[in-house]
Structure 1
């Protein structure tokens, strides 16, 4: 049960939101990656030639993933019109919906949750709560400073719907190192090297190998090697999506300039409007973001539009569109 306080008492509101408290959109979102994965695999095994997330399309019309397109440019060492067009379309999509691919389409986050044991899930939950405590400290330090947009002295920082809070850019981290290594290796070897170990591609390759075993009795080492690589990446390289994924890094570079569909705060509803240091949304965010004041461990540019902050907000103050995406829509 989530503990809450009223603005009048001035106490901190930072308890963990209730388990299972999600908006309709947030609940649907949990099933979409599996549905997309299943439809693409069905298309492959039935001969529809729909491709995979690494190269989706129909028959001869296909678009490789943005990272693969960028790697092909570096590998070819020359201008490739098709790759440039793919990158332009992908950049436009990220400018519109940010990193929504990570929570709405990519099969890796659900697979990572499946491979996580109880101890790891509890550790992740504790890490989110600890990150929310960091937000509390930043709220206290930021109160009264002159660096938070239009915030007046003495007010708690609040990211209003018109973006009044100071915009933060995503930090350079291990993902960008992997991204750089992917491009350098592609330039040296002449082909997209990272695609050989990309967990997204290996997930589809494993499904295809399993189908060939069951449907045609064709055993192959792929059915052993590919899952082992995936498990190693997601268990030994903890927090793959946050620390190592070059696709996330590439989208994050563009998402820094995204303005549409970011979490928007209704200043009349948010408990911070009068100084209450509420951090429920920050504790609920799997990306360690503070949507209300952009004071989290990671910048708001990293938002994947999963909707968990809106579902957890005790004041129904968070929305992503004009119609809103709040717990009240459950």
Structure 2
């Protein structure tokens, strides 16, 4: 229940809570005392990081994720181009070898706009709900969303420019995403118009890839420019309701990222690469109350923190099964 409540709090924009002193298990306190007595030097940590950077598995999960993301979106294009009817439609609504799939947020928008539930939409959302529940709610964001890959490129450029102190680095309160979520819901229900679908770069990029580019891509380019020059990953962090929807679905997902306090040197590299670094606040010394703690449902399961961790303090786990390697 604690994981559920804390994850929900983070999804709607609250900062992670630091565990009370009495909530930290004695064995965790003992580990922190041992780390202070036998403190690893910066030189030793640097040597571990250098060895890890040279490992062949350094970008294992990133490469798997990119390959999956590209393959899924390319399958839409190939199916349409060659009319093989394997994967029809676009990312917002599709049919895979006869099975209907519908993005949960898009389905909500359509239902609110037209005030009734279409049977195929219900079937499609049920399929998608079960799939993304198994994979972990926000897995969609980093493993399927075509805009995410473009935003990663914009983020890379933003960080390159930030190293030279050039672009602005504006941060907004994460609760703005919840405000936008409610705003889109209210406006859709009141106007009967699926406003978010018009603005969503996920749908725009997906349709442009399959059916050809249109003027709507100018909006996507404007978003990317804003993220490069003003605010890192602004759309995904502060506006997009898709992440909230899938995050709620993934609250009780069996697939999670798990943190092991015994292995961690608390160097903080994982938080630097994370799209949603607040979910990794538990890696800060004294912020984990258990020997192993599951990262909250606002996590996108992108695997970047796992790739960069030199001590395997962060790993994928699937409840009831062995740890994923």
Residue of structure 2 in register with 1:218 after alignment: none
CA contact (8 A) 1:41 1:204 kept: no
CA contact (8 A) 2:101 2:127 kept: no
CA contact (8 A) 1:294 1:300 kept: no
In 2, the alpha carbon distance for the partners of 1:319 and 1:124 equals 29
Say yes or no: does 1:242 pair with 2:260: no
- TM-score norm. by structure 2 comes to 0.66
Aligned pairs for 1:61-140 (under 5 A) are 62-98=100-136, 99-116=138-155, 118-121=157-160, 123=162
Instruction: Identify unmatched segments of 5+ residues in structure 1.
Output: 1-5, 131-170, 211-222
- The root-mean-square deviation of aligned C-alpha atoms, in Å, is 3.6
Select the structure that is richer in helix: 2
In 2, the alpha carbon distance for the partners of 1:116 and 1:292 equals 21
Residue of structure 1 in register with 2:270 after alignment: 281
Moved more, 108-117 or 246-255: 108-117
Deviations 1:220-279 (A, max 9, x none): xxx451220111123236421111111112112333x235221123455x13xxxx5443
In 2, the alpha carbon distance for the partners of 1:261 and 1:81 equals 29
Selected match of 2:95 from 44, 57, 69 = 57
Q: What SS does the corresponding residue of 2:255 show, helix, strand or coil? A: coil
Deviations 1:275-303 (A, max 9, x none): x544333333232145482669xx72211
- TM-score norm. by structure 1 comes to 0.65
Say yes or no: does 1:38 pair with 2:27: no
Moved more, 311-320 or 243-252: 311-320
Say yes or no: does 1:315 pair with 2:311: yes
CA shift in 2, pair 1:52/1:259, >3 Å: closer
Residue of structure 1 in register with 2:39 after alignment: 9
Q: What SS does the corresponding residue of 1:320 show, helix, strand or coil? A: strand
Say yes or no: does 1:185 pair with 2:187: yes
Q: What SS does the corresponding residue of 2:186 show, helix, strand or coil? A: helix
CA contact (8 A) 1:96 1:258 kept: no
In 1, the alpha carbon distance for the partners of 2:112 and 2:155 equals 35
CA contact (8 A) 1:11 1:277 kept: no
Residue of structure 1 in register with 2:27 after alignment: none
Residue of structure 2 in register with 1:28 after alignment: 64
Q: What SS does the corresponding residue of 1:57 show, helix, strand or coil? A: strand
In 1, the alpha carbon distance for the partners of 2:64 and 2:177 equals 28
Residue of structure 2 in register with 1:48 after alignment: 84
Shift of 1:196: 1.9
